[in-house]
Amino acid sequence: MSAKKFNGVVVEAPASSANVGPGFDVFAIALEIPKDIVKISLKGNGIRVFVEGLDNEKIPNVIDSNTAGVVAKRLVEDYKLASGIEIVIVKGVPVGMGLGSSAASAAAVAYGLNELFSLNLDKNALVKYAAEGEIASAGKPHADNVSASLLGGFTLVRSYDPMEVYKFDVPENLGVCIASPKIFYGQKKTEQFRSVIPKLIELDKLIHNVGNASALVAAILTKNLELFGRSLNDAVVEPARSKLIPGYDSVKGAALKAGALGVTISGAGPSMIAFYDSKMVDGRLVGEEMCMAFSSVGYDATYICTKVGHGCRIVEYF
């Protein structure tokens, strides 16, 4: 299959926060900042990946070990794309902080190649290919972060086989504050944080999570921010993972005291994400209090205030 008349695209792909409380491996939100910028050029032979920017030294550029490279390889093989492909990833999303860094790169390549070669993939197919890229970083396909990076807003993965994903817009005044502690877990962070998740759960905890997950979607559809905050509570995964995040209880308490509607772990962590009503609360105060709580247990932290953002988009054709 040949490409369009242009020789490349530059794609902007947002960070994301998965799980959103009780929605483990199902819910995610796109973040307005930070972002990856990915330049995809049709030139040379084969697939080549180059990584620049934030944390670039932590990211492999070998095709089968890079999420973007895996996505490109799958699409080239399945659609017999007839061109060399060069991918330059300028990282803006930090690695290993629970902000969907690998997913942003994977989503950008799926989105960009779909545009370059006029593949006309629908949203579910795009998410499927991007999720396969996560095999490089997580060992298996994961659709939560990539769905948010691709589609924007709040996303829900109903099924993997077949892939079925839904996207919802959130209230404009839903503010987001993310505090990221400087904690190094090594190269196996994802495996470490998954290993503590219980394999069997009690019925009452299942009922708790189904109720809160359902209420979270209802809160978005009805624009009820108070209900959204109350529904972030997770009785299964977060209690296990919280033990791996120093100061978890203090950080959560500090954010709530500063006016947050609710607080949860962002993805696998160690970042923690607080939601607030931007018409009523200054998110900077929430972030400062969260960082002070991390500092009280011996860890420096930084925060960003943002909001739920759009998905991938083309910022340049060339």
Order of all β-strands in the sheet with 262-265: 262-265, 272-277, 174-181, 301-307
CA 26 vs CA 10, 75, 108, 132, 144: distances in Å: 29, 24, 20, 16, 6
Other CB atoms within 10 Å distance of the CB of residue 186? 8
Q: Cis omega before residue 270 (within 30°)? A: yes
Other CB atoms within 10 Å distance of the CB of residue 88? 18
- Rounded CA gap, 261 and 238, in Å? 17
Which of 155, 190, 264, 289 is the catalytic position? 190
119 and 113 Cβ atoms separated by less than 8 Å: yes
To the query of whether residue 190 is one of the catalytic residues in this protein, the response is yes
- Cβ neighbors of 130 (< 8 A, separation 6 or more) are 71, 103, 106, 107, 109, 110, 111, 143, 146, 147, 149, 150
Which of 12, 86, 115, 134 is the catalytic position? 134
List, by residue number, the catalytic residues: 134, 190
